[in-house]
Structure 1
């Protein structure tokens, strides 16, 4: 089992649903993440999940399963995962440091 903490930026893309909206699918996977008590940050094109590597990867698999169980036959996911060992950093920490720097320009 991998012991690293990570930040995973995930965008599940349901294919063949017959409509452009992904609101239902985003709601399903967000509800699942919150039930599992992993920290998530929604953004306009996906979700950032923070936590232990194995739990985050398991959650991504569960997200696929949940969306499939609700009738979506095909899903593509874009996943970008970051790890670091020198400090713990939340998604908001990363945003705040850029905003702080912008104020000092």
Structure 2
């Protein structure tokens, strides 16, 4: 009997790492909120702004980034703990892209 208990006590943590028991042991991460979606789209736009050489494309991206920053700043009761970090990054990306479009 002690061997079975020892095997079970070792198997559950080991197998939970591979996802076998993961749903029983580890809580699921919550779905990304609206700020996460805006942030991810803005960071994808920022990546495009940093790599493109066309000034018209950069200007269009700068406009989208400014709109994303305004959307994040307008959120009155953010639930994401990283909301203010994301807002600062998107605002800085908008400023950078606007300066690069000139």
Structure 1 or 2: larger helix share?
2
Structure 1 or 2: larger strand share?
1
| Higher gyration radius (CA) | 2
Greater RCO, 1 or 2 (C-alpha within 8 Å, sep 6+)? 1
| TM above 0.5 | no
Give the alignment's TM-score, normalised by structure 1. 0.30
